[in-house]
Structure 1
Amino acid sequence: MRKRHHSTGEMISTLTFIGVGLWCLGTGLEAPPLKATVLFICAGACITGAARNLIAKALSRD
C-alpha cells in the first residue's frame, strides 16, 4: 500500500470545514428552532466534509 501525502490545499479545506462546522453548531445553539435545524444540518455536512479522507479510506476496496 502506498502512503498518500496530503497537499496544503487539502489541509486548508479540511480546517475550513471544521471551522465552519463548529461555527454552525455554536450559532445553532442560540438560534430559533427552524434556523437551528438548518444550521445543525449544515454543521453535519461540514464535519462530514472534514472527514472525507477518512470516509474514503474506510470505504476503499483496495
Structure 2
Amino acid sequence: MKKNMGTTDKIIRLIIAVVISGLYFTDIISGTLSLILIAVAVVFIATSFISFCPLYAPFKINTGKK
C-alpha cells in the first residue's frame, strides 16, 4: 500500500471528522444521517492516519509531494 495522501489532504479530513463528531455529540445531527456521517468521519480518520485513500488508487490520484 503506497501512500497517496499529502499533509493538507490529511488535515482537511481530520478537521471534517472533528466537525462531524462535534455536531453528533452536541445532538445537532441525529438519526440515520448522523450514523452515516459518523461512519464517514471514522473512514476519514482512518485514511488520514494510514495516509492511503482506496478511492484515489483506481484513478491514480496522489496528493502527496512528488
State the match for 1:38 in structure 2: 36
TM-score between the two structures when normalised by the length of structure 2: 0.58
Return the structure number with greater helix share: 1
Q: Which runs of 5+ in 2 are unaligned?
A: 52-66
* Number of aligned positions between the proteins: 46
Of the two structures, which has the highest relative contact order with CA contacts closer than 8 Å and spacing of 6 or more? 2
Deviations 1:3-34 (A, max 9, x none): xxxxxx71111111110111111122221221
Deviation at 1:41, TM superposition (A): 0.3
Q: Which runs of 5+ in 1 are unaligned?
A: 1-8, 54-62
CA RMSD of aligned residues (A): 2.0
TM-score between the two structures when normalised by the length of structure 1: 0.61
Deviation at 1:39, TM superposition (A): 1.3
* Matched letter for residue 7 of structure 2: M
Q: Which runs of 4+ in 1 moved over 4 A?
A: none
State the match for 1:6 in structure 2: none
Aligned-pair identity (%): 9
